[in-house]
Structure 1
Amino acid sequence: MLSRIQFDKVLFLDIETVPQIYQYQDLDEKGQELFYAKNRFQVNPEKNIEMIYNEKGGILAEFGKIVCISVGMVRETSTGKTIRLKSYAHEDEETLLRQFKKLLEEHYNTTYHVICGHNSKEFDIPYICRRMLINGISLPGILDIAGKKPWEINHLDTLELWKFGDYKAFTSLALLCHVFKIPTPKDDISGADVARVYYEENDLDRIRIYCEKDVIALIQLLLRMRGDALVEEDDISSAN
């Protein structure tokens, strides 16, 4: 399967999300009630609902929002492969989602095009779809997958590729990059810092850079899984 991948048909992506409301106590009464109902079985003496909200408020599409979608394209040249990055980062979620939809409809609009991410079938793609619908945006064809059987969805997921049918454990992108000896620049933030950087530092560009690093790591991982050479740093560029 990996050997048959046509890189000009693949859009690599990663998203960064934050809670729509930064702190649990700032949710309205109905919001607090519904979040508690959804997560009540995780509450225990060591973890109250506020702590759970800090962990999950941004990763639940009903309570979170997307602040950045970074994408990467791989192109074959006479001297090797290149990576081109583009990010859609905006405080207004509807704006960035419409920009992203435009990209998909104009350039990734056939049954041969696929999206690739790490855990994207379980997180990134469903999250984008849900947030588009919540914002009143119709789904582009490549994301119109509701009701399809798993084998009818041909998007690529490096986590799924790594499982080889073993669904007992989650393996992070960072761990796979480590075991495949893929050099990754040291991040000044982690996923747990994104909400703080967004709400307290108002530094969306810092989040964009972090998101783009994950897209680069994702592409390099797929290349290594195929047995291909890594793309050199000088052959990686960003449109932002």
Structure 2
Amino acid sequence: MLSKLNLEHILFIDIETVPQFENFTGLEPEIQDLYADKTQYQRKEDYTAEEFYDRAGIWAEFGKIICISVGYFTIKETVRSFRTTSFQGSEKNQLLDFKKLLSEHFNKPQHVLCAHNGKEFDFPFIARRMIINGIKLPYKLDLFGKKPWEIPHLDTLELWKFGDYKHFTSLKLLTKILNIPSPKTDIDGSQVRDVYYLEKDITRIVEYCERDVVAVAQIVLRLRNEALLLNEEVVSV
């Protein structure tokens, strides 16, 4: 049961991704063709592959990670805090730093990774980009041969489904109906590409990513029927 899980054993995660290049023309011709093939059913006849390229960040084969934010609880007697930190810079360095965090601090059997829609997006995206960057997968992301109950991943979207596989609820909607402060106070996911490539404001993206991490932690608290985090309990380090 979720209520029996030690909060200090959960690493909350969110990533922000963008297309690998600012423009479609940055792709080599063969990759352009492969992107067109990959997206033909999503585009139908409404868009060309080039017109659809602003959405390339949702595929690990054509996108890249520009920020990995994490958060974790520390609880000492009655004092609770939630610490967030982010990895940015070159994608490979981000992934190596994230792997080091997992290997050194969240490597025990009781440790789990948690994200909203993480099983469909964040966790596989990170794993695929690690492989593309020549990085050996850490144990928490290497799922080969593991039974479903052995996979150390927690997904707030899945928790909210309660077994209903047809149901999708965005992080923005879920925070709203659970009376959790919205993380989408500045930008949302659809704007990240422009903020990164046009405004070149990575700080704004990092702050947004960390707000999402806090929101996921708040959802877990609500599902456990526990008090939400206060602003003074959240510390960015």
Whether 1:128 and 2:130 are equivalent positions in the alignment is no
Whether 1:200 and 2:192 are equivalent positions in the alignment is no
Q: What does residue range 25-104 of structure 1 map to in structure 2 within 5 Å? A: 25-55=25-55, 57-90=56-89, 92-104=90-102
How far has the Cα of 1:175 moved from its partner? 0.6
User: How many residues of Structure 1 are paired with residues of Structure 2 in the alignment?
Assistant: 237
The answer on whether the counterparts of 1:110 and 1:142 sit within 8 Å (CA) in structure 2 is: no
Aligned letter for 1:229?
A
What TM-score do the two structures reach when normalised by structure 1? 0.94
Identity of aligned residues (%): 51
Q: Which runs of 4+ in 1 moved over 4 A?
A: none
Instruction: Report the equivalent of 2:3.
Output: 3
RMSD over aligned CA atoms reads 1.4
> Aligned partners of 1:43, 1:195: CA distance in 2, in Å?
19
Worse-superposed segment, 96-105 or 145-154: 145-154
> Aligned partners of 2:49, 2:147: CA distance in 1, in Å?
35
The answer on whether the counterparts of 1:20 and 1:65 sit within 8 Å (CA) in structure 2 is: yes
Aligned letter for 1:177?
T
> For each residue in 1:31-57, what CA deviation from the matched residue of structure 2 results, as whole angstroms up to 9, or x when unmatched?
1111011112233343332233212x1
What TM-score do the two structures reach when normalised by structure 2? 0.95
Instruction: Report the equivalent of 1:145.
Output: 143
The answer on whether the counterparts of 2:11 and 2:72 sit within 8 Å (CA) in structure 1 is: yes
- Give the unaligned 5+ runs of structure 1: none
Tell me the secondary structure at the aligned position of residue 58 of structure 1.
helix
> For each residue in 1:206-231, what CA deviation from the matched residue of structure 2 results, as whole angstroms up to 9, or x when unmatched?
11000000001010111001100001
The answer on whether the counterparts of 1:13 and 1:116 sit within 8 Å (CA) in structure 2 is: yes
2:156 maps to which of 158, 162, 166: 158
How far has the Cα of 1:190 moved from its partner? 1.1
- Give the unaligned 5+ runs of structure 2: none
